[in-house]
Structure 1
Amino acid sequence: MGYSVMRMTKVLLAVTLGALSALLFGNPAWAHNSLTGSTPEKGARVAEAPETITLRFLAKVNAESLTVTVTGPGGADAGGGAPRVKGSTVTVPWSPGAAGEYAVAYQLGSSDGHPIKGTVRFTLTEPAAGATAAPTDAAPTAAPSASAPAAVPTGAGPAPGALTAGEPDDAPVWPWLVGAAVLVAAGATGAALLLRRTPRP
């Protein structure tokens, strides 16, 4: 009887571990990386511009597949150099300027070949130190003569090469963690019940 219980316990544990492996590693959410947080946070309103922008990911980031762009009000380039990668954390230098909305667009590769991309937007409520005010329509310095054609104002367009990525396409991973915990608990409970019902010699 003791041998049979031991065997059934091993089978139950093997089934539980197999289901757990299928849940964790067979799910696409575990096959590629995802953003877990940032500084400033998404939608934050900050009065003082931080020295750098920080992006935190679920897994280690491959620096070779990473691209990050920072744009400010009106699509102006607000980048400050190449991002620095340390494990799952990316530090992004930037050049804060006028008050307004800033967008940090990122894209990186993943183990399953699926590109991960998204945008973190936050608002700078006060202009950075030494920043010039946002451009406004300047008054003409002199009235144009009858023979001279009127000057055509040149509007600032969006910065070339800026990513137009939407929200991250990664699914949250916490439901899978809960499912994994339930499977482990079920396996342990089943094994305990089998051992408890075994008659002692």
Structure 2
Amino acid sequence: MGGRFPRVARTWLVVLGVALGVSLALPAAPAAAHNSLSGSNPANGARIAAAPERVELRFLAKPNPGTTKITITGPDNVDALDGEPTFSGTRVRIPFAPGKAGLYIVGYQLGSADGHPIKGEVRFTLTTGTPAELPSPSASAPEPVPPSDAASAAAPSSAVPATDGGGSAVPAASESTDGGPPGWLWALGGGVLLLVAAAVGFTVRRRRAGT
């Protein structure tokens, strides 16, 4: 009994040690396989008046330049990248080409050890942008019109379309071109004939019924 108990205790201690080691290793595996964003400049949700020369992204682990994709999109879906990103440890710096004032979205995609890409974005608002282009004086000023052309354009046209016999050159749309009676007169005559025929038939039936 005395020798058996220590052996059982040692066995349970080994089992507990293995289970504890496995439980501690499981949470660490996903963390080592997946990288994530730790900060940015400008910060996510920031509103800035002066546009930076570059946008900086900071990650928990060193990103792989071969599997890292970064985009910057400005208002009207205009590309705001001004060159290739540079990698320095866990930091990535992206040259920035500011345009109109508005929302800018920095999108990133990283490779990971387990093969699943990591995607995310940083948004900031630029409150000042490039000024609108002013129209050139030559485009805004109307071209001068020669006096002869101006007089001819202002004078009303005296040309009158020629007509035969002083009548209108274009016949009215409601005029009829045939010489027969109008259609409503034919309809009225047909209705009268139907009424006469009905009256004659009714009289004949009464006479037959009386005889």
| Shorter-normalised TM range | 0.5 to 0.7
What is the SS of the residue equivalent to 2:61? coil
Q: Which has the higher contact order (CA 8 A, sep 6+)?
A: 1
TM-aligned CA distance change 1:18 to 1:92, over 3 Å: same
Instruction: Confirm whether residue 122 of structure 1 aligns to residue 120 of structure 2.
Output: no
Structure 2 residue ranges without an equivalent (≥5): 143-211
Aligned partner of residue 85 in structure 1, secondary structure: strand
Q: Which runs of 5+ in 1 are unaligned?
A: 144-201
Q: Quick one: which of 37, 41, 44 aligns to 1:42?
A: 44
**Equivalent-residue separation in structure 2 for 1:79 and 1:66 (angstroms):** 15
Superposed CA RMSD in Å reads 3.1
Q: C-alpha distance in 2, partners of 1:115/1:121?
A: 20
Total equivalences in the alignment: 138
**SS of match in other structure, 2:66:** helix
> Following the alignment from structure 1 to structure 2, what is the Cα–Cα distance between the partners of residues 3 and 48?
73
1:133 is matched with which residue?
131
Q: Is the 8 A contact 2:52 2:96 kept in 1?
A: no
Aligned to 1:18, the other structure's residue is in SS state helix
Q: What is the 5 A alignment of 1:141-156?
A: none
Aligned-partner SS, 1:22: helix
Of 62, 80, 88, which aligns to 2:90? Answer: 88
1:17 and 2:21 correspond: yes
TM-score by length of 1: 0.56
Measured in 2, the distance between the counterparts of 1:89 and 1:30 equals 18
Give me the whole-angstrom Cα distance separating, in 2, the residues matched to 1:134 and 1:43.
26
Residue 61 of structure 1 deviates from its aligned partner by 0.3
Deviation, 1:84, is: 0.7
For residues 8 and 132 of structure 2, the distance between their equivalents in structure 1, rounded to whole angstroms, comes to 79
1:41 is matched by which residue type in structure 2?
Answer: A
Q: Cα–Cα, structure 1 residues 135 and 77, in superposed 2: closer, same or farther, change >3 Å?
A: farther
1-structure distance, mates of 2:81, 2:102: 15
Q: Secondary structure in 2 aligned to 1:122?
A: strand
What TM-score do you get using the length of structure 2 for normalisation?
0.54
Check whether the contact 1:98–1:134 (CA below 8 A) recurs between aligned residues.
no
Greater helix content:
2
Alignment of 1:155-174 (within 5 A): none
Q: How does 1:74-85 map to 2 (within 5 A)?
A: 74-85=76-87
1:10 shift after superposition: 6.0
Q: Is contact 2:106-2:122 (8 Å) kept?
A: yes
2:102 to 81, 100, 104: 100
- 3-state secondary structure, aligned to 2:116: coil
For residues 93 and 108 of structure 1, the distance between their equivalents in structure 2, rounded to whole angstroms, comes to 18
Deviates more, 1:74-83 or 1:2-11: 2-11
